[in-house]
Structure 1
């Protein structure tokens, strides 16, 4: 946890929660208040567990100790917990986090090589005076209308040889066994998911956009594009195996602590809380766009919470971690372009 709850004076209040206010009001669909900041810090722990405590998977080869005076950008930084921890691990790097809301700790509470800027990475012209060696963004699936334009901006603002990495969930649920698939078909969580898709489409947004990222990085000119995966625990907990019929390149995040493996149980415990804490604030902004009343939304959210906590629901959420490198010279094609098939 960052240990801070920072109110943004530019916020507006709706339904007892605060959201991004006069600066790009309505673009971000989750709250920005203290409860949401706690949830974002908790979600950071989900990522730490999924990535075996790593902050990144891109192969940042920055030379010998002390030779790490590099420029790093974190897009959609939230509470700033990722750049704070990256700054602490890389004291020679200059790390900046950007977000629509200024909900990050004050300068005297963060490492001296860490700073924060209010910015809309999609709509604004970037004002950074440096080319970055590494650009990171995480859980941005709902934030942009045109993710490809953001990827192109990232490419243009990297130095040759610099890396970009996206870590994101897909708004899917994948059953680990036939019994769960049958339950999911008529469940409240599946209905909620469908209504969320409908509501987001009215904004021109795709909650499963991460599945396109590897191709879009290649299209933008990135080389050495990789999509990383881990093994998923089978439903009886007796072994681990890749889920070939889905996509062997995907990380899999348990919906709740249903697996028997201790690591997956811990991930599922955090992720269950992460989802439950986000349901109300996100649904209140999106589901009216799918034609639902406030009363219908409240009733559905309560049923979805029960589904999320049901450990008979052996389900995963796919996770995509994708990174690529800007070539040293020109666009892709001037170097060997190694990418996923």
Structure 2
């Protein structure tokens, strides 16, 4: 079994020093500084993927992998499958490849393939009527059941600005579970089931599993706030780098306050009654898209 453990795409972090000019040169300097965002690393078209792909982002995706592993109660997937069979597994949007790697290490008899933006698209696909799909989407709008989170919180402002910016960019991050189910049904998928996971921003819950998951979610979000926010808010909302970083700093402080019993919803859609596994993870938390494939 072989796989490439290196990350071919490495881009400059948003936290690097940029020009302080807030006039007409602001965006020009931004674009010049991030010259490598525009297709010079691998085959990824940067105009279609606005978020950074750097070592910090790769680490953040691995942290979020741990978060999802915990909320699945230490399972790599939620479907009821005969794992003794030589299943065929497709991880589309494989990111760092950590999920595909761990799955193939745990089940070496399975055929696991990871695909991502920076990979030549395969010429083969599953025969219609076969496969299993599991779709995971994060709704970034913060929720709070006891009103402990102020209505004018930095977290609420951040989520609103991020969603608005991505709407303007043409890559909306808003989650509409009902519409998603309808689209999946129209595409021919059957036996669609939905599970809503509560992703708490810090370990305020009493439940041990939720508490551990919250620690990982907090770490992943805290380390990725600027990466998530910098390009969308500067390019689409006209904010300065300093304004974005100031907002992210305030959000970072709030998500670490246990007195704020806030969380966001994660929707898991499973499509069952299929004979060959094709596990498809689509996470709307933007992150690096680095190809990873494995063979035995």
TM-score using structure 2 length: 0.76
Structure 1 equivalent of residue 193 of structure 2: 226
- After superposition, the Cα gap between the structure-2 partners of 1:41 and 1:20, relative to the gap in structure 1 and judged at 3 Å, is farther
Partner-residue secondary structure (3-state), 2:191: strand
Match of 2:95 among 61, 75, 78: 78
Name 1:8's counterpart in structure 2: 8
4+ aligned runs moved over 6 Å, structure 1: none
User: Is 1:213–2:180 an aligned residue pair?
Assistant: yes
State the match for 2:266 in structure 1.
319
State the Cα distance separating 1:199 from its structure 2 match. Answer: 0.7
Aligned residue for 1:160, secondary structure, equals coil
Equivalent position to 1:303, from 230, 250, 263: 250
State the Cα distance separating 1:35 from its structure 2 match.
1.7
Whether 1:174 aligns to 2:191 is no
Question: How many residues are matched?
Answer: 248
- 1:27-56 residue CA offsets vs partner (Å, 9 max, x unmatched): 333322222211111111100111111211
Partner of 2:210: 264
* Residues in 1 aligned to 2:223 and 2:230: alpha-carbon distance in whole angstroms: 13
Structure-1 residue corresponding to 2:197: 251
What CA distance in whole angstroms lies between the structure 1 residues aligned with 2:223 and 2:155? 15
Match of 2:111 in 1: 94
Alignment partners' CA distance in 2, 1:317 and 1:209: 11
Partner SS for 1:162: coil
Shift of 1:14: 6.0
Superposition pairs of residues 170-209 of structure 1, within 5 angstroms? 170-180=139-149, 183=150, 185-209=151-175
Unaligned runs of 5+ residues in structure 1 are 102-117, 120-125, 132-157, 229-249, 329-341
Equivalent-residue separation in structure 1 for 2:215 and 2:188 (angstroms)? 39
Q: Which is worse superposed, 262-271 or 44-53?
A: 262-271
C-alpha separation between the residues in 1 aligned to 2:95 and 2:268?
19
Please list the CA deviations of residues 48-84 of structure 1 after superposition, one character each: whole Å capped at 9, or x if unmatched.
111111211223346xx3x31x321111111101101
Return the alpha-carbon distance in structure 1 between the equivalents of residues 38 and 69 of structure 2: 27
Taking a change above 3 Å as real, the CA distance of residues 313 and 29 of structure 1, as seen in their structure-2 partners, is farther
2:45 is equivalent to residue 24 of structure 1: yes
- Preserved CA contact (<8 Å) 2:142 2:155: no
* Structure-2 change in CA distance of 1:276 and 1:5 (3 Å): farther
